[in-house]
Amino acid sequence: MDDSLTSETGTNRARWKQDPEGVRADILAVALEEFSRNGLSGARMDDIAAKTRTSKRMIYYYFGDKEGLYRKALEAAYKKVRKGEEELDLEHLPPKAALERLVGFTFDHHRKNPDFIRLVMIENIHHGRFLEQSDAIKKLNEAAISQIRNIYDKGVRDGVFRAGLTPLRIHWLISAISFFNVSNARTFSLLFGNDLQTEAGQACLSADACQTVLKFVSKEG
């Protein structure tokens, strides 16, 4: 989209300008898409390079090898997604409303990031071999739990949530519903029809998700 090659200024042979960070970011963006679409072994380095504004040589120059590129793409994906979650402000809401909003947001957020979901699926297929190596990612996720802990503890104190649960189990439930909705959309549609993947169907599932979690946590239905 931007130039450095399209600007045919002086000589016939276009002059190129150095832009290390731009090149890195460009490669990473393409890699994310390709790995997400085709998996680690399914993605082709030549294809990635072709879709880049630079060359294959540069990928190896900056990322070492295929797995190095995949690792960085995975990290980038996690960072990007977790960043999108920061905008949520739940502290001032009463527990039930806060939890409801969190579920609705998570459901939507997963939906809006199918590339990320697919990378996580791929990572699970690889037994988390690369996620395992990235300490950076692990730290990003502690916030999610403490966020729920705040809401849940307040809810228990207020007498609207039942005691005996843990933030982790609540997070697990929210994740399961939101993740599955994206990860298995295709096979589920093929086996049981496409109704739940329409806009109306998704709205229905989103509402179901909120109700499910709220009823699970609430003291009385």
Partner DNA sequence: CGCAAAATGAACCAACTGGTTAATTGAGTC
Partner DNA sequence: GACTCAATTAACCAGTTGGTTCATTTTGCG
Instruction: Give residues in contact with a second copy (CB under 8 A).
Output: 38-42, 118, 120-125, 127-128, 131-132, 137-138, 141, 145, 168-169, 171-173, 175-177, 179-181, 183-193, 195-196, 204-205, 208, 211-212, 215-216, 218-221
Q: Which residues pair with 161 in a beta bridge?
A: 218
Q: Which residues pair with 218 in a beta bridge?
A: 161
- CA dihedral for 198, 203, 208, 214, sign (positive or negative): positive
Residue 33 as a binder of DNA (CB under 7 A): the answer is no
Residue choice 1, 6, 9, 46 for contact with DNA (CB under 7 A)? 46
For the chain, the DSSP string reads ---SSS---SSSS------HHHHHHHHHHHHHHHHHHH-TTTS-HHHHHHHSSS-HHHHHHHH-SHHHHHHHHHHHHHHHHHHHHTT---TTS-HHHHHHHHHHHHHHHHHT-HHHHHHHHHHHHTTTTTGGG-HHHHHHTHHHHHHHHHHHHHHHHHTSB-SS--HHHHHHHHHHHHHHHHHTHHHHHHHH-SGGGSHHHHHHHHHHHHHHHHHHHBS--
Stretch binding DNA (CB under 7 A), from 42-50, 113-121, 161-169, 194-202: 42-50
Stretch binding DNA (CB under 7 A), from 10-18, 72-80, 99-107, 177-185: 10-18
| Least distance to DNA, CB of residue 68, Å | 8
* Interacting positions 64-123 with DNA (CB under 7 A): 65-67
The nearer residue to a second copy, 18 or 187, going by C-beta atoms, is 187
Considering CB under 7 A, how many residues would be counted as binding DNA? 22
Residue 51 as a binder of DNA (CB under 7 A): the answer is no
Residue 9 as a binder of DNA (CB under 7 A): the answer is no
Q: Which does 6 bind (CB under 5 to 8 A by kind): DNA, a second copy, none?
A: none
Residue 179 as a binder of DNA (CB under 7 A): the answer is no
Residues that bind DNA (CB under 7 A): 5, 15-20, 23, 43-46, 54-58, 60-61, 65-67
